[in-house]
Structure 1
Amino acid sequence: MTDLFNYNRRPASVTHVGALDIGGENPVRVQSMTTTNTNDTEASVAQAERIVEAGGELVRLTTQGRREAENLRNINAQLRADGYTTPLCADVHFNANVADVAALYAEKVRINPGNYVDPGRTFKMLEYTDEEYARELRKIEDRLTPFIEICKQNHTAVRIGVNHGSLSDRIMSRYGDTPEGIVESCMEFLRIFKKHGFSDIVISIKTSNTVVMVRSVRLLVAEMDREDMHYPLHLGVTEAGEGEDGRIKSAVGIGALLADGIGDTIRVSLSEDPECEIPVAKYLTWHIRRRQGHLLIPAEQAADFDYLRPERRKTTAAGNIGGENVPVVIATRRAEDLTNEISSPGLPTPDYIYVQGELPEKLSEKQKYILDFNAYAALAAENRLPEKNVFPIFPVTGMPFISSVHAPVKFLVLKYGTPSEEFLACLKAHPEVVVVCMSSHQNRLGDQRALVHQLMVAGVKNPVVFAEMYQHSNATQHPSPITAKEQFQLEAAADMGALMVDGLTDGLWLMNDGDLAQEDVEQTAFAILQAGRLRMVKTEYISCPGCGRTLYDLRTTIARIKEATKGMTGLKIGIMGCIVNGPGEMADADYGYVGAGPKKVSLYRKKVCVEHNIPEDEAVEHLLALIKADQKTEE
């Protein structure tokens, strides 16, 4: 059972992948995947070596056909001749015969339960009797058995890689599009491997939806424990995208699990050169590893909290915070730095701005401000306080003054470990108080969780805003290829991941003691909430990282689509290199752009294909026309 408050690595068995061991006491391994054509030995070797030089410990290559699987022999031989011992993983979809060949030449083979034996997902509602369902499982075992024997003979490891976007129609018929269905798709294969005495297994569950990904992996761990299985886990958010958004989205999902000790190898899937993924993955694992050996957090878990199926904590709204409201963003600005334009045009504006002890000379009627309680009380005593948009904040030492200061919303800064008798009574008596939860603990996730669970145990329903302080400066950044800004974003996203999935987040307040631009700090908060599926403020691009199956220039296309749709807010647009996960992952998107053939693209509305085989140079314009036509219809 996961300890919500104290960091410990999940005990996992050890899987041998060539010379690399994954799981057990081994560090979290980092890996990436080539984007070259696997038939091109020279290009594939060169890219694999760049991944290894960046720190990658395993390299995956797509093997969509027998020719690609056969050529793994040449790629592997050349890498060894060049002095590289890094193991290779073959990525197999749709054709089980290819997996049999790949197992001869790669140290690891990834198979997808959604399409290894079953046909590709058709999105048709099919009905299976118990007998028919059992017959399908026997068919899977019959096909897996020779593959398992080949892997045993060649000491080849297996990754069972479930993708949310490619669940079989059979699984969908029983479980629907749910985390339970994702887990069962994996467990069906695991039971067969266990029955045949094969244990060199790594498991992954991936989806572009961070919440579904985290909940599914939590459920999988619980189900494996129930059936006495402890295989190592590969973590990743598929189709995370590129740039800041891709990094933040990956950190939210991967970080939420790593912070609970879950995960033995990770891949950060970015729509960029694969070697760019490695520094991000290495920094994430370093950041989480710093929690090891922290002081014990002696907290009590709330009885009604369900870690496997969490729901949003029930709170009484204080103004626009808590209740059914989307989480707010609070920012820190000095009064003299405030202008009429709080944020740059086109960017979301913080809901509240903390101005410390002094209000700006000119207040915006559309903006809410937070002021130190003593300055607030002084202005109130002189009748110089604006009536509607300024609110007091109290340190814990100022708690005795909460009753004497009148305001529709008040903020109280609390840390776990503060004597509870006074603040619990205060919060129960003052539902208008919003808790600002801070932590300076080595394991801030456990510490902040502990305070909210303390409130839940006591039956306190005040909203909670998580305040996170960092220290990042371009002049003194951590020795890493990634920038101080990226380090800040990765840490903040990873720290908030589990708190958002747990349903505990009514607001986010990011602070940085360094030279990062304040607007970047604020916009990171919005990006984290969007990555956690709590608040949509801009278009989300669900784009795959690309591989040898990609059928068009992915990075150029992403840039063109982003530029063409940058003024649209709240949309989710999927940009997929091929059909393997396209329609499935895009079931969560409003629109999809999928490689259908060389230089050909198909367009989707939700998971329904509405235009087939458009020439690539016309496809972006067709996508825009589709979106605009739908918007006009809605009007």
Structure 2
Amino acid sequence: MQTLDTPKTPTSSASDFDTTIHRRKTRPVKVGDVTIGGGYPVVVQSMINEDTLDIEGSVAAIRRLHEIGCEIVRVTVPSMAHAVALAKIKEQLAKTYKPVPLVADVHHNGMKIALEVAKHVDKVRINPGLYVFEKPKDDRSEYTQAEFNEIGEKIRETLKPLVLTLKEQDKAMRIGVNHGSLAERMLFTYGDTPEGMVESALEFIRICESLEFYNIVISLKASRVPVMLAAYRLMVKRMDELGMDYPLHLGVTEAGDGEYGRIKSTAGIGTLLAEGIGDTIRVSLTEAPEKEIPVCYSILQALGLRKTMVEYVACPSCGRTLFNLEEVLDRVRKATKHLTGLDIAVMGCIVNGPGEMADADYGYVGKQAGYISLYRGREEIKKVPEDKGVEELINLIKADGRWVDP
């Protein structure tokens, strides 16, 4: 019989509380000079909203995105003229900037456009629900297996030339399923469900595999986070059952704008990344594409998947705080935000200070009125007047050889 003084037998080990995200193993897929999957860092993507026929505007938009950290840029190609324009865009980028990994969206009547655009981009994105048009019938009561097979064969015939040209050029394809645009057959058979999304993707994967083409990335986007989560989780389950290891492109489509659009995207993308699912991400905001990139990097930084900025640890402030925490944090950030890779803590009092900031490289702590204690890790280095705090923090970082000029 266990008494109050008897230590409890541990029911779990330290490994049960592993704080490292263990990413699902996937095959590497090259997109220009960037690799998706294969253990490489999660890749950040976005999409320009310029008309692809506007060569100068498109080149400028692609460059703006790439310069702020967007590693793969997508453009839309609704017509043959747009596909031809991509050749000029690619040429202009190489001449005036540098080569940028490009993806082209191909939707309706895709075969001729896709074959042309495959010459000029590094990856072609197709939407299975739109690639071959299926006219709905109001009086349909079932899809026979013969009808299923007939449409499947038509899809194969349409897709085969694109697959072969991508294979020949060692380029990639994204099979991009959208919850809102499933094919009529899939809707009728599975309903507007994650299962229908997964089966739609698998149909196209099998066609690619039958042609020995494996440079494939999969996405299953939805505008509702629970649907998006269910679709990706089911896709992983089915791929595991089938021995497939294709990388996944994560996104909550049509997330909207502002704070809610960012929260919605983070809820979907961040949840899956925390489960080890996902190899490349795009945050879809109804804003300028440049606004998407900081959100992507913030998600990755918060999960410890990429380090692209300074990590600031700061308490929420309370009655014990000995200085204006919001103002001080702003001053510290302005002085140090360029020091990518550092963790800096700004803590309002000694109660939260050393303990809460234990993992930080440097700490800025209010220990007594009018004075700041500066820490290196857990070690208190010096106490300085509050008005000298930021200056002395910089001096400490410089003394450690970790300072670089902005």
CA distance in 1, matches of 2:44, 2:122: 16
The structure-2 alpha-carbon separation of the partners of 1:31 and 1:91, relative to structure 1 and needing over 3 Å to count, comes to: same
SS of equivalent to 2:70: coil
C-alpha displacement of 1:125: 5.9
Q: Could you say which residue in structure 1 is the equivalent of 2:47?
A: 33
Provide, for residues 578-627 of structure 1, a one-character-per-residue CA deviation record: whole Å limited to 9, x for no partner: xxxxxxxxxxxxxxxxxxxxxxxxxxxxxxxxxxxxxxxxxxxxxxxxxx
Counterpart AA for 1:67: A
C-alpha displacement of 1:290: 5.7
* Contact 2:44/2:281 (8 A) holds in 1: yes
SS of equivalent to 1:104: coil
Q: Are positions 1:479 and 2:343 aligned together? A: no
If the length of structure 1 is used for normalisation, what is the TM-score?
0.46
Q: Are positions 1:168 and 2:183 aligned together? A: yes
Counterpart AA for 2:159: L
* Contact 1:206/1:238 (8 A) holds in 2: yes
2:282 to 255, 267, 279: 267
C-alpha displacement of 1:71: 0.7
Provide, for residues 176-234 of structure 1, a one-character-per-residue CA deviation record: whole Å limited to 9, x for no partner: 01111111010100111111111111111111000000110000011011111111111
Provide, for residues 381-421 of structure 1, a one-character-per-residue CA deviation record: whole Å limited to 9, x for no partner: xxxxxxxxxxxxxxxxxxxxxxxxxxxxxxxxxxxxxxxxx
Provide, for residues 481-519 of structure 1, a one-character-per-residue CA deviation record: whole Å limited to 9, x for no partner: xxxxxxxxxxxxxxxxxxxxxxxxxxxxxxxxx9xxxxx
SS of equivalent to 1:114: helix
CA distance in 2, matches of 1:202, 1:212: 19
* Contact 1:126/1:170 (8 A) holds in 2: no
If the length of structure 2 is used for normalisation, what is the TM-score?
0.70
SS of equivalent to 2:124: strand
Counterpart AA for 1:10: R
Taking the TM superposition and a 5 Å limit, the aligned residue runs for 1:441-460 are none
Provide, for residues 358-403 of structure 1, a one-character-per-residue CA deviation record: whole Å limited to 9, x for no partner: xxxxxxxxxxxxxxxxxxxxxxxxxxxxxxxxxxxxxxxxxxxxxx
Q: Are positions 1:187 and 2:45 aligned together? A: no
The structure-2 alpha-carbon separation of the partners of 1:27 and 1:172, relative to structure 1 and needing over 3 Å to count, comes to: same
C-alpha displacement of 1:153: 2.1
Counterpart AA for 1:479: K
CA distance in 2, matches of 1:54, 1:476: 23
Taking the TM superposition and a 5 Å limit, the aligned residue runs for 1:516-595 are none
SS of equivalent to 2:176: strand
Q: Could you say which residue in structure 1 is the equivalent of 2:379?
A: none
Q: Could you say which residue in structure 1 is the equivalent of 2:173?
A: 158
The structure-2 alpha-carbon separation of the partners of 1:74 and 1:209, relative to structure 1 and needing over 3 Å to count, comes to: same
Q: Are positions 1:92 and 2:106 aligned together? A: yes
Q: Are positions 1:216 and 2:236 aligned together? A: no
Alignment RMSD, CA only? Answer: 2.6
Greater shift in the superposed pair: 135-144 or 125-134: 125-134
* Contact 1:91/1:109 (8 A) holds in 2: yes
C-alpha displacement of 1:37: 0.5
Provide, for residues 57-104 of structure 1, a one-character-per-residue CA deviation record: whole Å limited to 9, x for no partner: 001000011110111100011111123222100011112121111111
Q: Could you say which residue in structure 1 is the equivalent of 2:373?
A: none
Q: Are positions 1:69 and 2:77 aligned together? A: no
**Which blocks of at least 5 consecutive residues in structure 2 are unaligned?**
1-14, 308-315, 320-327, 339-364, 366-406
Counterpart AA for 2:80: R
Q: Are positions 1:228 and 2:243 aligned together? A: yes
The structure-2 alpha-carbon separation of the partners of 1:286 and 1:41, relative to structure 1 and needing over 3 Å to count, comes to: same
C-alpha displacement of 1:333: 11
The structure-2 alpha-carbon separation of the partners of 1:239 and 1:125, relative to structure 1 and needing over 3 Å to count, comes to: farther
CA distance in 1, matches of 2:97, 2:165: 27
1:45 to 59, 65, 69: 59
CA distance in 2, matches of 1:251, 1:208: 13
Greater shift in the superposed pair: 4-13 or 159-168: 4-13
SS of equivalent to 2:219: strand
Counterpart AA for 1:216: A
**Which blocks of at least 5 consecutive residues in structure 1 are unaligned?**
293-331, 336-471, 481-513, 515-635
How many residue pairs match? The answer is 304
Q: Could you say which residue in structure 1 is the equivalent of 2:217?
A: 202
Provide, for residues 286-336 of structure 1, a one-character-per-residue CA deviation record: whole Å limited to 9, x for no partner: 1112699xxxxxxxxxxxxxxxxxxxxxxxxxxxxxxxxxxxxxxx9989x
The structure-2 alpha-carbon separation of the partners of 1:245 and 1:122, relative to structure 1 and needing over 3 Å to count, comes to: farther
Taking the TM superposition and a 5 Å limit, the aligned residue runs for 1:299-448 are none
Q: Could you say which residue in structure 1 is the equivalent of 2:34?
A: 20
CA distance in 1, matches of 2:43, 2:182: 27
Q: Could you say which residue in structure 2 is the equivalent of 1:57?
A: 71
CA distance in 2, matches of 1:240, 1:251: 10
CA distance in 2, matches of 1:273, 1:291: 23
